[in-house]
Structure 1
Amino acid sequence: MTFANIGHLGTKPGARDELVALLTRPSAELSEIGCLLYEVGVSDEQPDTVFVAELWTTAEAHQASLQLPSVRAAIAQAMPLLSGEMGGTRFEVVGSPLRS
């Protein structure tokens, strides 16, 4: 089954675009370890929030990605940009009308 992680990250005022740039840097490693989708978004209604939708082959692949040196470095770079407000949900995907 596919694993989904949908979340939001609060940023310090004015840091949203810097976090978006960090999160959208190309990474072949993510697809190699099992990331099927990694989408980053923003909303004018929440100017200090970044939204992330991730789809992984498994929950274990997601956990393994957190040990990659490039991901650990990106997390370290992101920390000073964050306000501490974050949330989201994780779930096992059971189906989609777009794929079999």
Structure 2
Amino acid sequence: MYGLIGKMLAQPGKREELLAVMMEGQVPMPGRRSYVIARDPASPDGLWITEVWDDRESHAASLHLPAVQATIAKARPLIAGFGERFETEPLGGIGI
């Protein structure tokens, strides 16, 4: 499996709007086992996104799906930048 944990930073005061866009764009995707969006309690503009995929290729392919492209286009003006990004090798757990 392939995992990603990344921090996304919203434009100041736009976190809830960005969160709404990210949440409404959720659709089933081939190879995706888990996708969690969380507010960063230590940052008023931060979000953490945790993903688990069957493999790296499934994640890469997802970026070309029309639903993902539409979400990216809608979210882009609300994103100030990105923070830490970690790749992981999930071994198992509940929900994956």
- Identity score, percent: 32
Change in Cα spacing, 1:68 to 1:97, as seen in structure 2 (3 Å) is: closer
Q: Which runs of 5+ in 1 are unaligned?
A: none
Summarize the alignment of residues 1-100 of structure 1 with structure 2, pairs less than 5 Å apart: 2-25=1-24, 26-28=26-28, 30=29, 33-93=30-90, 95-96=91-92
- Structure number with greater Rg is 1
* Structure (1 or 2) with the greater strand fraction: 1
Change in Cα spacing, 1:24 to 1:57, as seen in structure 2 (3 Å) is: same
**What TM-score do the two structures reach when normalised by structure 1?**
0.84
Q: How far apart are residue 97 of structure 1 and its match?
A: 6.2
| Count of residue correspondences | 94
Aligned equivalents of 2:68, 2:34: Cα separation in 1: 15
Change in Cα spacing, 1:46 to 1:3, as seen in structure 2 (3 Å) is: same
Aligned equivalents of 2:48, 2:36: Cα separation in 1: 8
Q: Provide the secondary structure at the position in 2 that maps to 1:47.
A: coil
**What TM-score do the two structures reach when normalised by structure 2?**
0.87
Letter in 2 for 1:17: E
Deviations 1:31-83 (A, max 9, x none): xx111000000033211011100000111000000000110111111110011
